[in-house]
Every structure is written in structure tokens, then in C-alpha cells.
């Protein structure tokens, strides 16, 4: 039997061991729970990423449909306005023609009335009686022939004037009918124009809402990817890239490098940030066309109502984008973009040149590209991988 002191020591050691074991179990349990919690959060984040990826495709489709409808409505409104202007000019011409025809008919009628009054004043109580009296009072056969010729001339002149009056009045009736028809068309056209403008206003509001929702989803997806860091699987990132760019694409970063090489400028980081920001701002699913150019090329097809093209290959898309910029160096302000890239200007300076050009003037409420540079600059590897 152990001494009491030894017994206490053993008991104490046993108790400490038990406490240590219990502490280890608690820590282990806590670690397992922590891992389980992290795994749960990761799974939830990945599920949300998949949901958002599907949602963004639907939102982009809705926004594109609204944009296409707005293009059609804008065309209809432009045509209606042009026809309204034409009708106004035709109405003015018709009113002028009616005034001229009315004056001519009045002039001819006054001539006929003048002839009738002249003959009446010559006697016999009527023009016909005056002519007959003149013939009966002739003093010789030659005189009779002269007076007969005069009477015939008067009759022919009166008949001609009567025909002219009838023609003038008929033209007047046609012009009055045309005036009524033009006025009716003008009323119908103005009603259609008002309806088209109301529809365009409603669609524009819907488009803004759709684009706002799209922007929120884009931001949430990028935030999730940033949170997941290296835990996101390659196929998940590829799915996001396809949702952002459609099936015909390479990553934003890869395309930026190839485009800068195609343009013959530096592939410096500032230029890469600017071009990735530009692609992200466009956010188009047009095949091999991340900047949404509209230049037709061999084998290209139309992507939307704005005439943005689908290109059959990466090389053709790059060539089309370069050609578009080259063609607008002076007329569309693209020269400033190329100059900024050539001197490897800060990304925000290049973005400002893009924003000031005619590429997408006024887009994104005036924040086109420049609004995306700060976040792309802050997390370039993430955006470049999309």
C-alpha cells in the first residue's frame, strides 16, 4: 500500500491527466466542429456561386432582349418622326396648292362673268340674244360672216374658260381630299409615336432595373470567388467565365494580353488592368468579341439588334477589334485610347480615354470602364481569371 502522500500524488496526476484528456477532447471536438462549419460554409458558398452563375445568364438575356427592343423602338420612333416631318411639309404644300387653285378658279369665273356681262350690255337681254341680234343686223353677207366668226370665237373662249374652271375645281376637290387624308395620317402617326415613346420609356426603366440587378449579381459572384480563394474548383471558375462571356472566349486576362500584342503596345500591368476593366464593363456574351465590336468580318454573325458580331475565332475577333479602333482613331476619339496604351499610362487614364470616346458614350451613367478600374486594380488576378 502506498503512503498517503504517494496516493495523493498518483490521484493528482491521474486527475491532471483526465483534465488534460478532457481538454484535448474539447479542443479536438471544437476543431472538428470548426472544420465542419467551414466545410458547410464553403459548400453553401459554392452552391450560391452556382445559383448566381445561372441567374446571371438569365439576367443578361433579359437585359439584352430589352436592349434589342429599345433599338427597334428607337428605329420606329425615328421613322415616325421623319414621316411626321414629311407630312407637315406635304400639308404646307397642299394648303398652298389649294390656295393657288382657289385663286385660279376665281379668276376664270370672273372672266366668264365679265364676258357674260359685256354681251348682256350689248342688248337682247342675254348673251345668246345679243349674239343673235348682232348676226341679224348684219348689212351684207361678208359682214354676217365676220360677225359669225366673232360669235364663234366668243363661244369657244367661253367654253374653254368653263373647262378651265371645271378642271380647277376638280383639282381643288382632289387637293382637299388629300389634305383630309394627310391630317388623318398625321393623327394616327402621332398616336403611334406617343405609344412607341411610352413603350420605350417603360423598357428603358426595365432595362435599367435589369442592368442594376445584373451588376449586383456580378459583384456578388466576384465577392464569393474572392472569399473562396483557392478552394474554388477550376470547373467552377470556368463556369463563371462562360456565364460572363459566353461559350466562345478565353479569360479576360488572356484576351487582354493577346489584344495588347495585336495592337503593338506594351503588356504592362496598367494596360492589362485597363483592358480587363473594359471587358468587364462590356460584359458581353458575343463569341470571341469581349469588347462588343460591330464590324462584320468573313463568317461573323449578328449577336444582337445593335449589330454586335459573333466572330468564328479568337484571331478574327482580335483583328476585328483592332480594325474597329484603327478606323476610328480620329473620328471617334479612339486615338486617345491607343496613345494612352502606347505610353503605358495609368489604367484610370486609359479608362478615361475609353469613357470619353464614342465607343459607348454615356454608358453606365457616365462611369463606363472608369467605375470598374479600382476594383480590377485591387484584385487583378481574380478578374483576369474570369
The torsion angles phi and psi of 48, rounded to 5 degrees, stand at: -65, -40
127 pLDDT higher than 60: no
* Mean pLDDT (whole number) for 73-91: 71
* Mean pLDDT (whole number) for 6-31: 35
88 pLDDT higher than 50: yes
* Mean pLDDT (whole number) for 164-172: 68
Domain ranges for the chain, please list them.
73-204, 246-384
* Mean pLDDT (whole number) for 268-295: 94
Residue 272 near residue 384, CB atoms below 8 Å: yes
Taking Cα atoms as reference points, which of 110, 109, 103, 134 lies closest to residue 121? 134
Task: Read off the pLDDT of residues 198-234 as tens digits, 9 standing for 90 and up.
Answer: 776 776 676 666 667 777 777 777 777 777 766 667 7
pLDDT at 164: 67
322 pLDDT higher than 50: yes
* Mean pLDDT (whole number) for 23-39: 39
* Mean pLDDT (whole number) for 314-335: 96
Q: How confident is the model at residue 138 (pLDDT cuts 50, 70, 90)?
A: low
Q: What is the mean pLDDT of the chain?
A: 74
* Mean pLDDT (whole number) for 309-328: 96
Whether the full predicted model's pTM is greater than 0.85, yes or no, is no
* Mean pLDDT (whole number) for 187-191: 74
Q: How confident is the model at residue 18 (pLDDT cuts 50, 70, 90)?
A: very low
Q: How confident is the model at residue 344 (pLDDT cuts 50, 70, 90)?
A: very high
* Mean pLDDT (whole number) for 185-193: 73
Residue 386 near residue 251, CB atoms below 8 Å: yes
Amino acid at each position: 500500500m502506498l503512503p498517503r502522500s504517494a496516493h495523493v500524488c498518483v490521484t493528482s496526476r491521474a486527475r491532471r491527466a483526465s483534465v488534460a484528456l478532457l481538454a484535448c477532447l474539447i479542443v479536438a471536438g471544437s476543431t472538428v466542429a470548426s472544420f465542419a462549419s467551414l466545410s458547410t460554409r464553403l459548400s453553401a458558398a459554392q452552391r450560391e456561386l452556382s445559383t448566381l452563375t445561372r441567374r446571371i445568364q438569365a439576367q443578361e438575356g433579359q437585359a439584352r432582349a430589352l436592349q434589342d427592343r429599345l433599338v427597334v423602338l428607337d428605329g420606329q420612333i425615328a421613322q415616325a418622326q421623319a414621316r411626321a416631318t414629311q407630312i407637315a411639309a406635304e400639308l404646307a404644300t397642299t394648303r398652298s396648292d389649294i390656295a393657288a387653285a382657289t385663286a385660279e378658279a376665281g379668276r376664270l369665273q370672273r372672266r366668264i362673268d365679265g364676258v357674260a356681262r359685256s354681251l348682256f350690255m350689248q342688248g337682247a337681254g342675254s348673251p345668246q340674244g345679243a349674239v343673235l341680234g348682232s348676226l341679224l343686223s348684219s348689212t351684207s353677207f361678208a359682214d354676217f360672216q365676220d360677225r359669225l366668226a366673232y360669235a364663234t370665237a366668243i363661244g369657244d373662249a367661253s367654253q374653254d374658260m368653263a373647262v378651265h374652271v371645271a378642271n380647277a375645281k376638280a383639282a381643288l376637290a382632289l387637293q382637299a381630299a388629300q389634305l383630309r387624308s394627310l391630317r388623318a395620317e398625321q393623327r394616327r402617326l402621332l398616336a403611334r409615336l406617343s405609344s412607341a415613346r411610352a413603350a420605350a420609356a417603360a423598357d428603358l426603366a426595365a432595362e435599367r432595373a435589369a442592368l442594376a440587378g445584373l451588376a449586383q449579381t456580378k459583384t456578388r459572384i466576384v465577392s464569393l470567388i474572392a472569399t473562396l480563394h483557392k478552394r474554388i474548383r477550376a470547373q467552377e471558375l470556368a463556369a463563371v467565365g462562360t456565364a460572363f462571356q459566353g461559350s466562345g472566349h478565353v479569360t479576360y486576362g488572356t484576351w487582354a494580353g493577346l489584344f495588347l500584342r495585336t495592337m503593338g503596345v506594351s503588356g504592362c500591368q496598367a494596360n492589362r488592368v485597363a483592358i480587363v476593366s473594359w471587358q468587364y464593363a462590356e460584359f458581353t456574351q458575343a463569341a470571341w468579341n469581349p469588347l462588343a465590336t460591330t464590324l462584320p468580318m468573313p463568317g461573323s454573325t449578328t449577336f444582337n439588334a445593335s449589330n454586335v458580331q459573333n466572330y468564328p475565332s479568337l484571331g478574327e475577333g482580335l483583328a476585328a477589334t483592332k480594325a474597329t479602333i484603327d478606323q476610328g482613331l480620329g473620328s471617334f476619339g479612339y486615338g486617345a485610347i491607343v496613345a494612352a496604351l502606347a505610353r503605358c499610362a495609368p489604367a484610370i487614364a486609359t479608362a478615361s480615354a475609353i469613357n470619353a470616346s464614342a465607343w459607348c458614350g454615356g454608358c453606365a451613367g457616365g462611369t463606363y470602364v472608369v467605375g470598374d478600374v479600382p476594383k480590377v486594380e485591387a484584385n487583378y488576378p481574380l478578374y483576369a481569371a474570369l
